[in-house]
Chain A
Amino acid sequence: MIKIENLTFWYEDAATPAVREVSLEIEDGEFVLITGPSGGGKSTLCRCLNGLIPHFYGGRITGRVEVNGLDITRHSTPELAAKVGMIFQDPENQLVAVDAEREIAFGMENLAFPGELIAKRMEESLDTLGISAIRHRRMQELSGGEKQKVVIASVLALHPGILVLDEPTSELDPGSAEEVLTAVGRLNDELGLTVILVEHRLDRVAQHADRLIVLSKGAVIADGSPRSVLGGDKISDTGVGLPPIISLARRLRERGIGSGETPLTVKEGRMALGKVFQSRFGLSRGGSAPAAPPEPPNHHPLIEIKKLWHAYPGGRVALRDINLSLYEGEFIAVMGRNASGKTTLVKHINGLLKPTKGDVTVGGINTREATIAELARKVGFVFQNPNDHLFADTVEEEIAFTLKNFGFNGKEAAARVDEMLERFNLGEYRKHYPRSLSGGEKQRVALASVMAAHPRILILDEPTRGMEYRLKRELMEFLGDYRRHGGAVILVTHDVETVAEHADRVLLLSEGRLVVCGSRREVLSGALLFSPQINRLVQAFEGYGVPGDILTADEVLEMLG
């Protein structure tokens, strides 16, 4: 059992506490989901549960945290390790050994378990997570999800009663994320472990959790069953992203349609909405016909890719015969499994990679004949981790750096820096050190530094992975504005819900081939797991005449009038 009384904690040199006056009691065997905006204190709270705070981080702590009766200020993290297992975001940064078995043994070796016990627990934890097939594999060869499961197994082998997971899936692709979350659900369900899980993707886990806690600005804003919290009023002020089904149900309730229940899964949503559709449409097949695919504009394309092949040194063929055109103002989403060639494809557009065969033409220039710097004036490229963009001493210099690369100096450069600071709302951080800003602010600085060159094409490589809802919305608003001014957007992503709302066209790559390229309706509707939540929901009602290509909550509401 975990008992937190009046916990307030300041990191070293911080003026405001990271968590303030938090009091919680968590019973054995509970599955607690913690969510909230970034900087809300989620990670800080997790670190208090195994003594990383205060022992590793220092800082100032008041109040009390007791784990199974042990006061965390008096027991060190290694001592607590056998009581509280802790799993972090990036599996890459938690690995110490070369192969899976030795990784799992690491914790047990540290606690000086005798050899026989290690061997026994090894088998146990391998089986619990279903990873015995990869026990002899090298960690570097494993997928992100497999790595994370090995880390979980290594923690589990110590038999902790409590498992704390701090955004364990934010670095994983959706398939791996699902696997890890399912495994965690089983640990709680079958082994009775107390699970404390920090997650943004509520649609995947809300149904497994007994309790949902929303942390914002260091304080507990809401605490209750996921259904009551997600259906309640407090959540809408916090900027926490609601799964589309829940937000649809809430909006229907506002309009007095339906039963007012809060569905947590697609199935529950289908049950709740079934009656609504039945009463509205009966069995008459009256739905609107699917919208015609958008016609390609007849002016010249901004980007033309013709018969593009790419092979990496060493011979691995990453792209096979890709043909594609992109027009002004278009928003294209590039989707596909890991290693399907998404990033390889977009790196051809700004010349980071050159075609092995075929041609890529950007704004009339063949990329073979241009340097990256020349292409960079036309094509902005935002990478996944904003940290990778940032190195200057101030936000201002960071933006000016790009301009200097393009030969802007003096007044013109200064004017553009001011323009970017204003556009991205960064004026007050002008003199701040970019890397010490919050996640959302860093993203804006990275964007500003790329946009300063006024590119007509903007490529974003998985910018929303692990990103909270509010920041995602900010980013999408910016992209919408950019397109209205004639810019074209290429978004590499796994995020089906974002694509469903914003993309004009969707490309689906598989093993380097362009499998499908069509309007978002064609590509995203009617697929089994690939479809957005709302589409999976409405697919069941096609018989009532509900169009099968509805993708978002907005469209459902529009249809219901």
Chain B
Amino acid sequence: MMTGFRYKDSDTAIHRLNPFCKLLWMANILLFALIFNNPVYLLALFLATLPLVAAARLGKEWLSVMKLTLYLGIAIVLINMLVSYHGTHILFEAPFRLPVAGVPTITLEAAFFGAAMSLRLALIISAFAVINFTVHPDDLLLAMIKMKLPYKSVLVTSLSTRFIPALVEDAQCLSDVQRSRGLELDRGSLGQKIRSRMAIVIPLLSNSLDRTVQLAEAMESRAFGSGRKRTFYKPIRFAGRDVLALTVGFLAAALGIFMRLWGYGDYQYYPTLGGIGAGALEWSLLGLVVLLLLSGVFLAVGRSEAGLD
């Protein structure tokens, strides 16, 4: 998991896409996932992430992430059924009464609410997966710099994420070393366990500190901190299409917010499930949001200059 869920290099239109278009797309999905409750909306948006998954040839990676999400979803449904006693359609009723909470019941509404929340989660994870697998970490860094975040802070963030795999490896090695010296990590009381973990944590910290000093030396030796305004080898370029795509992406956001303010996209789960039925106008508007969302990405595909590669 640690190493599986990260950028995957391949040469697809989605990978080559201007990172801002992709980031805006993800921001839109996050926004919609938060403001809309209606399961039809959530499903439509979830399906709208699939064209990107296909275009980026992420089938295998996406499926493995979704498998985990499915387990998580099942857990959410079960837990919600067990702890939420609201709802009128009772599927099961316990023969006893709990103090404060009342009689434990399992209701259709609670199951349905759990499923809708799982769908919302799947939508967010699917969008994150696309971004994670297709935006080069260095492009993400450049994008952040372009958004006027200070270079040094952005670089530190990126370096620390790069250090994580090294840290995990180091911790594994240190645990091997100390276990070879007879240390039993899982024996004794909590206090003893914490103390035995120190045999790993202390060298881990010292090693990381050494590593950091060495990296700092190496960076200064390569003129980091020269005081000049940095240039970038592969700056993010904006072609006309990118600007168009971004505009369309913002339009999608505006339309979605407008719909929510107008009262669309809400749904009643408790005490009884509300009806899905809505007017043709609402469905057309939802279709338009999805269309704009996808256009915000696919309009930028295929720009010939491929500024990023």
Contacts and interface: CB of A to CB of B under 8 A. Distances in A.
Interface of A: 47, 50, 52, 56, 76-79, 81-82, 85-86, 88, 90, 92-99, 101-102, 105-115, 118-119, 122, 136, 138, 140, 151, 154-155, 158, 347, 350, 352, 371-373, 376-377, 379-381, 383, 387-391, 401-402, 405-406, 435, 449-450, 453
A118 B231 CA distance: 9
Given A105-B233, A347-B176, A376 B223 contact: no
A107 B219 CA distance: 8
A388 B177 contact: yes
Nearest to B136: A98
A406 B162 contact: no
A148 B66 CA distance: 38
Task: Please list the 7 inter-chain residue pairs (A to B) with the smallest Cβ-Cβ separation, ordered nearest first.
Answer: A405-B182, A105-B233, A81-B223, A107-B222, A78-B226, A94-B218, A381-B180
14 contacts: A56-B216, A81-B220, A81-B223, A93-B214, A93-B218, A102-B138, A106-B222, A115-B231, A372-B180, A376-B181, A381-B177, A401-B199, A402-B181, A405-B183
A116 to B, nearest CB: 10
Nearest to B182: A405
Nearest to B184: A373
B211 interface: yes
Contact of B219 (A82, A96, A401): A96
Contacts of A56: 216-217, 220
A112 B230 contact: yes
B148 interface: no
B215 A94 contact: yes
B233 A383 contact: no
A389 B181 contact: yes
B181 A405 contact: yes
Contacts of B220: 52, 56, 77-78, 81
Interface centre among A77, A88, A99, A115 (most CB of B within 10 A): A77
B233 to A, nearest CB: 4
A50 B217 CA distance: 11
A92 B166 contact: yes
B179 interface: yes
B173 A98 contact: no
A402 B198 CA distance: 14
Interface centre among A47, A138, A151, A347 (most CB of B within 10 A): A138
Nearest to A106: B222
B166 A405 contact: no
Interface of B: 7, 9, 136-138, 155, 159, 162, 165-166, 173-174, 176-177, 179-184, 198-200, 202-203, 206-207, 210-211, 214-235
A78 B225 contact: yes
Given A56-B220, A115-B231, A115-B233, A352 B176 contact: yes
A391 B199 contact: yes
Contacts of B227: 78
Contacts of A99: 136, 138
A490 to B, nearest CB: 13
Contact of B231 (A90, A95, A97, A113): A113
A47 B217 CA distance: 9
Contacts of B136: 98-99
B176 to A, nearest CB: 5
Contacts of B174: 388
A95 B138 CA distance: 13
A539 B91 CA distance: 87
A140 B169 CA distance: 13
Contacts of A108: 231, 233
Contacts of B203: 387-391
Contacts of B230: 109-110, 112
Nearest to B183: A405
A79 B199 CA distance: 42
A107 to B, nearest CB: 4
A55 to B, nearest CB: 8
A168 B184 CA distance: 37
A122 B233 contact: yes
A93 B179 contact: no
Contact of B162 (A98, A122, A381): A98
Given A77-B220, A98-B138, A138-B9, 7 more contacts: A52-B220, A372-B180, A373-B182, A381-B176, A388-B173, A391-B199, A405-B184
Contacts of B184: 371, 373, 405
A82 B166 CA distance: 30
A369 B202 CA distance: 31
Contacts of A112: 226, 228-231
A50 B165 CA distance: 31
Contacts of A154: 222
B222 to A, nearest CB: 4
Given A112-B229, A118-B231, A373 B224 contact: no
Interface centre among A56, A102, A380 (most CB of B within 10 A): A102
A383 B173 contact: yes
